[in-house]
A and B are shown apart, each in its own frame.
Chain A
Amino acid sequence: MWLPSYATPSERLLRTLVVMLAVAVLLFLIAPLFIIVPLSFSKDPFFTLPVREYSLRWYEDFFGNARWMTAIFNSAVAAVATTILATTLGTLAALGISRPDFPARRLVMALLISPMIVPIVIVAVGSYLFFGQFGLTNTRTGLVLAHTALATPFVVITVTAMLSTYDTNLTRAALSLGAPPTAAFFRVTLPNIMPGVVSGAIFAFATSFDEVVVALFMTAAEQRTLPVQMFSGIRDQINPTIMAAATLLLALSIILFFALAMLTRRRAR
């Protein structure tokens, strides 16, 4: 169905092989993610399939354990604070950078994107040493500051992309009809770019909630986040309770992913 009528037999064979290879690669991409789901519902503490008997014991273990619960709470607090900060700063910057008369746009954009590029360990160690000078290591504030720096590029990218399709005449019309600049922004511009802002916020939330390395350096036991708790668990002795945690994180990712997909589709319409 995907071949022109003049294709040679060898070309048909090759095309079939390419399609098969692509399907295999896609399975390679997706299968490992879903391996952990059945394992987390297994009654046995082994990591083999098929599962012989299903049970919720690892979830009971997870939700009954104060350490995991504290970790979830810490992650949620840090992620919400990061989201608010990163979305505000990133949206403002995107609004500025999208104006036609923004000076040195390429340079500023390269700088704003650089937190995505710099190796995470360097951000982690730099933050650990620098924030340590102000007593901010092992505090939630320090963690949120570092996470916000990592999350802002995502907001800048999504909102800038949104603004590239936004008709600025709408804002101008509002202004010319006498709206004060703030009203024009909150009642005309912002509602129109909202999908981009929310996408950015989702990215920011996920960035903070999933981040391990900076959290590893910047937190002590009291601020320990869910990924850090998982990381140390795997390092010591991997156990099925970690499978339950991983499955819950996977579920959260899928929910966020579909929320984002819906936003994108609404934008396309």
Chain B
Amino acid sequence: MTAVDIDRINIFMAVRRAARPARRSAFSLALPLLAFLAVAFVAPILYLLVTAVANPETREVLPRTLVALQDWDGKSAPDERVYAALAEDLKVAKDNSTAALLGKRLNYEISGMRSRVLAAARMVEKSDGGPYKEKFVQLGQEWASPETWAVIRRDGASFTPYYLLTALDLRQAPDGSIERVHGDQAIFLDVLGRTLFVAGLVTLFTLLLGYPVAYVLTIAPKAIAGIMMLMVLLPLWTSLLVRTTAWVVLLQSDGIINDILLGLHLTSEKLQLIFTRFGTVTAMTHIQLPFTILPIYSVMRAIPATQLRAARSLGAGPSSAFWRVYAPQTLPGVVAGCLMTFILSLGYYITPALVGGPRDQMVSNFISVYINRDLNWGLAASLGVVLLVVTLAIYLLFLRLVGADKIKLG
């Protein structure tokens, strides 16, 4: 390293040092918001991630059983010591009324375990002491099965992949290998696929309908363009719930759209429009259109009109002038608008809940059901993790291609 290089480095370091107070004071202004978001936004999401793998039930309810299971060979039914520990744990569980909690947790992996655990807890309470092995097996052959015990031992871990696997239609067999779930229980990949499909469809429709609007906005006389812009921005400003309400009303069987169709003799009987895929996609397209139009418009506005004229005067036909000169330049706006709409469409909850049928419910709706109705927080959180990962992947793509500072409002 020459002396000049060292001088350069020293100067560079000195400049950075000199700039440090300014950097620090600039950063300190953003600090309150960053700290607030850490608590009120990032922490809840991290908590959701932990909930997706948390596994407290078996550890808390069966501490003695898990200790006794430590030196079980895993091949045959465990010995009396384990059953005695289980009986002891279930007695305590019965007193604390935590047996149902354990039953519910084990039931996720082996169906029928809930009633078996509750029956065993009742049996233990009434029984006047051991040996317990026989008494448990009398209740059900499953208590002698190594598979049951393997699952109990596995669920003794602090964290479980169970919920995340379930959210991807996978499960862990008692021997630990991961396999695909088939039949009635394999619903979540279907839901995820449906969410992606609906989001894709909505993105495509907003692009097809929005592109001409953005274009006409750039060529219309100023006064007319102002009114047109108003018609794009006003829906954006209206609450999502109000817009969804409007569609609920429009799509009713005795609603306005059916009236118009009947009046025009386009159909002879009332069509089922609400609670259908058609209704969901239509309402979502309506709600998302401004998000696609605005970025395309702001890019189109910057393309000089003279370019198309130049292309034409140099001999390009109308279609090749459009496709080879104009369209490629609008691509950044198309990408920004479509990615934005796709990202937002993935998270739709209100509109599918009110306008869609059972087959149109998206990942968000299932998350809500598992929180509110089934009280299965682990599965709700895992579905949330899947949705979050997909969304963030597309957000990263957006940041790379477009940039966060390009997000504008109106």
Contact = CB atoms under 8 A, between A and B. Distances in A.
Given A29-B289, A117-B391, A106 B28 contact: no
Contact of A117 (B240, B309, B395): B395
A152 B38 CA distance: 13
Contacts of B354: 231, 234-235
For chain A, which range describes its interface: under 10, 10 to 19, 20 to 34, or 35 or more residues? Answer: 35 or more
- Interface secondary structure of A, over-half rule: helix
B-side binding surface: helix, strand, loop or mixed? helix
A122 B387 contact: yes
A268 B211 CA distance: 27
Interface in A25-81: 25-26, 28-30, 32-33, 35-36, 39, 46-49
A120 interface: yes
A47 B29 contact: no
A220 interface: no
A156 B25 CA distance: 18
Interface string A209-239: 1101100010000000001001100110010
B371 interface: yes
Contacts of B249: 35-36, 39, 47, 238, 243
5 contacts: A35-B246, A92-B32, A120-B347, A243-B245, A253-B242
Interface string B218-252: 01110000001001111101111111111111101
B41 interface: yes
Given A35-B246, A234-B354, A242-B245, A89 B45 contact: no
A97 B30 contact: yes
B209 interface: yes
B405 A118 contact: no
Nearest to B245: A246
Interface stretch (B57-65, B90-98, B108-116, B377-385): B377-385
B8 to A, nearest CB: 21
Interface stretch (B79-87, B163-171, B172-180, B254-262): B254-262
Contacts of B377: 129
A117 B405 CA distance: 14
A83 interface: no
B131 interface: no
Contacts of B33: 89-90, 92-93, 112, 152, 156
A105 B255 CA distance: 51
A179 interface: no
Contact of B237 (A4, A206, A230): A206
A118 B242 contact: no
A123 B351 CA distance: 17
B51 interface: yes
B391 A129 contact: no
A8 interface: yes
Contacts of B210: 25
Given A33-B243, A109-B404, A206-B237, A102 B409 contact: no
